[in-house]
Structure 1
């Protein structure tokens, strides 16, 4: 909720106590944006093949691009880097993302990959939708929700004045050997990164 509302009241006293303990002599150190940093789940290399790979894991084919935390709230949509820097503000048709469709309770937080060539935010995961948090939900439910709700938002997958960037959900596939062979032979509307993302 704090991410969407940009409300950090009460957090200052905790941080001041930490700051007193870690006082530095250097004045020119630039402060990093701390509130929006480290909100995205980062990938790791899969060293060993899990025994339940075919049953419990899914594969998501990802486009070439940069990870982005998308926060649509209070009539505006903001894109943040992994390290928390705001790199863009725009209107969108996401719930809470523009002044026409925004209410106080509507906010959306997405984990995306921005592909500059297609000017598209490919949605990797849903963190909050219309103010409902999904942090504690199972991966398969979040993906089901994403693939059912994104298409319901009219115009979200199109580039318009109110929606200058497209938002498209990334497809997921089972991690069985047959499915992986099929996925590797598919054509996608974007340049694919290597390796593919596997999620438990």
Structure 2
């Protein structure tokens, strides 16, 4: 379950949402089964293979169980203190929590994780410590606590969870991430040298018909590359391509992206597995020009809220609204060519 970036304050923030301070580190799934524990990154590569105190996570008599007694935890590995911070629970002892709302999953996570002994210091059969993360109701006190209270890890922004949403794979607007320079070291993306580039960089995926898309499901199309340019540069469908947002920036009409002034740069590092999401591109653009500030969030939870609509459990499977396709400009070794336009977001 991957959060979208908060580019607008959601309705009923103080009533329907939790907030937590997100640990800095590597997002991963931790799976314990058959006497071993494995953590995998988003691209599928193994981060660690180790014994743990999670159910069926080590080959000990006390930790034995059936083949169906496995656990899946959604974690962030914090390098500095070698700890897995558990931000969500997908499965516990073979019991799936996919159809449970976030309120129940967080309750189950805190109670079961402590009972398992996984929060104890490392030992021979428990190589890494696990820890839950303080979760607050997103009212004035909770939001300020998540934002200001000291925690044993380096913060990397705030995570917001809709209380009534079920767990779903992929990006979802019912989980949101927000950050500023007070609660994150890296508000604006840095380049390969760790420096903030003078112009924002975006990564899009090239499709077979020349369209450039985000990682959203369904993907959002930013434009189309000219076929002559594709052949000339040897680009292939599925390639991830890096662009700069030029001086023309992003133009929005009635809240929808109308056009973008993009300049083609190169292919990103091969380790990069996914294109940017639409919300990330917009959040990064806002962070440079008109950021959503903590005072905006505090004002929203302090404002009158419509009490008529009763909350209900919802699936985290939302189709994003359509956006007009912007005009792009591309540049390769000083040579510029125009990109074709279409009128629809996706075909």
Shorter chain as normaliser: what TM range? 0.7 to 0.9
Q: Which residue of the other structure, out of 69, 77, 80, is the alignment partner of 2:40? A: 80
Contact kept, 8 Å, 1:70 with 1:112, in 2: the verdict is yes
Q: How does 1:141-160 map to 2 (within 5 A)?
A: 141-154=104-117, 156-160=119-123
The residue number in structure 1 matching 2:153 is: 190
The C-alpha deviation readout for 1:46-84, integer Å capped at 9, x for no partner, is: 122122100000002111100011010000000100111
Gaps spanning 5+ residues in structure 2: where?
163-347
**1:64 matched to 2:24:** yes
What is the rounded CA distance, in whole Å, between the counterparts of 1:67 and 1:57 in structure 2? 21
Over 6 Å off, 4+ runs? none
What is the rounded CA distance, in whole Å, between the counterparts of 1:155 and 1:175 in structure 2? 28
Question: Highest Rg: 1 or 2?
Answer: 2
Normalised to the residue count of structure 2, the TM-score between the two structures is 0.45
Contact kept, 8 Å, 1:108 with 1:129, in 2: the verdict is yes
What is the rounded CA distance, in whole Å, between the counterparts of 1:91 and 1:131 in structure 2? 18
Deviation, 1:157, is 2.9
Q: Which residue of the other structure, out of 69, 82, 90, is the alignment partner of 1:106? A: 69
What is the rounded CA distance, in whole Å, between the counterparts of 1:138 and 1:171 in structure 2? 18
Q: Which residue of the other structure, out of 41, 57, 81, is the alignment partner of 1:97? A: 57
The residue number in structure 2 matching 1:35 is: none
What is the rounded CA distance, in whole Å, between the counterparts of 1:156 and 1:179 in structure 2? 24
Gaps spanning 5+ residues in structure 1: where?
1-40
Q: Greater CA deviation, 117-126 or 47-56?
A: 47-56
- SS in structure 2 opposite 1:181? helix
The residue number in structure 2 matching 1:169 is: 132
Contact kept, 8 Å, 2:19 with 2:142, in 1: the verdict is no
- SS in structure 2 opposite 1:145? helix
The residue number in structure 2 matching 1:131 is: 94
- SS in structure 1 opposite 2:156? coil
The C-alpha deviation readout for 1:101-158, integer Å capped at 9, x for no partner, is: 1222321100000011111000011111011010110100000001111111135332
Q: Taking structure 1 as reference, are residues 156 and 182 closer, same or farther at Cα in structure 2, changes over 3 Å only?
A: closer
What is the rounded CA distance, in whole Å, between the counterparts of 1:117 and 1:73 in structure 2? 27
Contact kept, 8 Å, 1:156 with 1:163, in 2: the verdict is no
Structure number with greater CO (CA < 8 Å, separation at least 6) is: 1
What is the rounded CA distance, in whole Å, between the counterparts of 1:143 and 1:155 in structure 2? 16
Aligned residues: 159
Deviation, 1:93, is 0.5
Normalised to the residue count of structure 1, the TM-score between the two structures is 0.76
The C-alpha deviation readout for 1:23-66, integer Å capped at 9, x for no partner, is: xxxxxxxxxxxxxxxxxx11211122122100000002111100
What is the rounded CA distance, in whole Å, between the counterparts of 1:99 and 1:137 in structure 2? 30
